[in-house]
Amino acid sequence: MTKFRNVVFLSTALFLGAAGVTFAQETVNPADDETAAPQTETASDVESQLSLGEDANGVPVVGQPFTKEIIGDWEMRCIKAEEGAEDPCQMYQLVEDGEGTPVAEFSLFRLPDGGKAIAGATVVVPLETSLPQQLTITVDGDGARRYPYAFCNPVGCYARIGLTPEDVARFKRGNAALITIVPALAQDQKVELSLSLTGFTSAYDQVSTVQQ
């Protein structure tokens, strides 16, 4: 089995994808325009440059990611919400290879009712992964399913998968899910990663539904 170089991923929030739009506008150099008004800093400009700090005792502030608790082998990662609102949380697990090296990340969240998938997951793997070979997940050696990669960035390559009620039921019954990826430089070999399902059911009950 080909061993990937050590990779430790640091993710802090649900990843559902986002697109940025940049608007271009014509600018005028005040030095070349005698009618240009003097540049002054507004209160909002000043405030945007100020840090409000964070609680020195480890209490999260609004918008800050934090670990709510550990359930079995799952970390409940949440974002601190406004007072009176529920903190959105996802299930997270850092997946290691057989030698204890962190290789991939697995994050799971619920989806709104009405679709074929009731939950979604983001799997992040190293950049050295072969994308055409896709990613395979098997629960307790049964029901293998293959998923494509959506994109890559400097952190790694992302597979965004949908989980049907049947898939979630298998995860709840299972002991471990086997994630299989293929190295780009050794496509005749496979890297198998064990995703522990200990505590899955209890953690899943606390996962937030992604808002539309």
* Token output for 163: 């989980």
Is residue 53 very low, low, confident or very high in pLDDT (cuts 50, 70, 90)?
A: low
Summarised one tens digit per residue, pLDDT across range 83-95 is: 878 889 999 999 9
pLDDT for 161 equals 97
Domains and CATH numbers, the chain: 61-204 (2.60.40.1880)
Per-residue pLDDT tens digits for 113-154: 999 999 999 999 999 999 999 999 999 988 899 999 999 999
The string of DSSP letters for the chain reads -PPPPP------S----------------GGG-TTPPPP---HHHHHHT------TTSPPPTT-EEEEEEETTEEEEEEPPPTTSPPPEEEEEEEE-TTS-EEEEEEEEE--TTSS-SEEEEEEE-TTB-STT-EEEEETTEEEEEE---EEETTEEEEEEEE-HHHHHHHHH-SEEEEEE-BTT-TT--EEEEEE-TTHHHHHTTPPBPP-
